[in-house]
Amino acid sequence: MKAVFLDRDGVLNPLIYDAEHGVYDSPLNPDQFSLMPGVAEGIQMMNRAGIPIVLASNQPGIAKGKISKALFDQIDRKMQRVLRKLGCYLDGVYYCLHHPEGVDERYRGDCSCRKPKSGLLTKAAEENGFELEESFLIGDGLTDIEAGLKAGCKTILVGTEKCDICRKSAELGVKPDYIAPNLYEAARVITGGG
């Protein structure tokens, strides 16, 4: 059975500007979580096509002491609630909560699941009987694409042809099979329709 692996931040929800550190980062509370354009429609399309959709996301915020586990769980629940309200759903959710330099020792360490490693994808495949070679990975970063390539998946970069990441991808030889402007167009590539 083929599956679709989705990154979260930058694919489902926008990154949030962290004024204190001057960088874009994951949402740190449920109010900062919203869906990007085309996400509900893209997930609906894949749900209708009967393709399992599994979130596979690095979330080192707890390890870095940026967010509590309780707030993190609230964001996860909001994501699932918002999708259900819009008539679509994820079939599974896999997070890597680790970080090699985490300040919270429960989540500190070199794990095998933090992308660009492929551990999250291979674990989800083992637990659910997915064929990785038939599956797709959709992400907005080269670490996502690299993880997908290592796992043997087809890969779709959410971005634009001229984006900085696309230039870097050519440099590094981490090339996605497809580039799509948003999840809706990525879903059209996968399902072959609309």
Applying CB under 5 A, which residues contact Zn ion?
96, 98, 111, 113-114
The residue assigned the tokens 């680790």 is 98
Catalytically annotated residue among 7, 76, 104, 140:
7
- Based on the residue annotation, tell me whether 7 is a catalytic residue of this protein: yes
Report in angstroms how near the CB of residue 113 gets to Zn ion at its nearest. 3
Q: Where are the alpha helices (DSSP H) in 25-102?
A: 39-48, 69-85
Paired tokens of 108? 């500190």
**Quick one: 38 or 60, whose CB is closer to Zn ion?**
60
Nearer to Zn ion, 59 or 169 (CB): 59
Phi-psi map region of 155: left, alpha, beta (phi>0 left; psi -120 to 50 alpha): beta
Closest distance of CB 184 from Zn ion, Å = 29
Give just the sign of the alpha carbon dihedral 134, 177, 61, 39. negative
- Residue 144 Cβ vs Zn ion, minimum distance, rounded to whole Å: 14
CB of 9 to Zn ion, least distance (A): 16
Closest CB to Zn ion among residues 42, 61: 61
Residue nearer to Zn ion on the CB measure, 111 or 163? 111
Phi and psi angles of residue 108, each rounded to the nearest 5 degrees, phi first: -90, 140
Distances (CA, A) of 25 to 20, 39, 123, 190: 11, 19, 26, 28
Catalytic status, residue 76: no
* Residues known to be catalytic: 7, 9
